[in-house]
Amino acid sequence: MGGETSAIQRVAGKISDDIFSVFKWDRAARADMNWDCCQEAHSKKTHPSDVVFFYIDPYEEEMVYLNTDLKSYAEGTIGKKIVEGALTSLALATEC
């Protein structure tokens, strides 16, 4: 990972920690993982996961997980296709 990308990833991790800690969410100990894909229909070997946050739903009393794939894009490069691709990737990872 390049120095600039690594620095951006550290900042993104810090910002996400700061945001989710306000809501009393916790962060899973393991980070920056590639999980094995278990669905042939996905046509992938792995799914990326930078950080997984979790909390106990106060109404259902069940653990809720939020899988994240922290991204950084140059200004002006974020468009509909990029966002759709990122959301599809997260949806596939969550399904597995």
Q: Residue 27: which domain range? A: 3-95
pLDDT tens for the chain, 96 residues: list them: 455 566 777 777 788 778 888 888 998 888 888 989 999 999 999 998 888 899 999 999 999 998 888 776 777 778 899 889 989 999 999 888
Determine if the pTM surpasses 0.75: no
Q: HEC string of the chain?
A: CCHHHHHHHHHHHHHHHHHHHHCCCEECCCCCEEEECCCHHHCCCEEEECEEEEEECCCCCCEEEEEECCCCCCCCCCCHHHHHHHHHHHHHHHHC
* pLDDT at 83 (0 to 100): 87
* pLDDT at 3 (0 to 100): 54
d(CA 9, CA 19): 15
* pLDDT at 46 (0 to 100): 93
Counted domains in the chain: 1
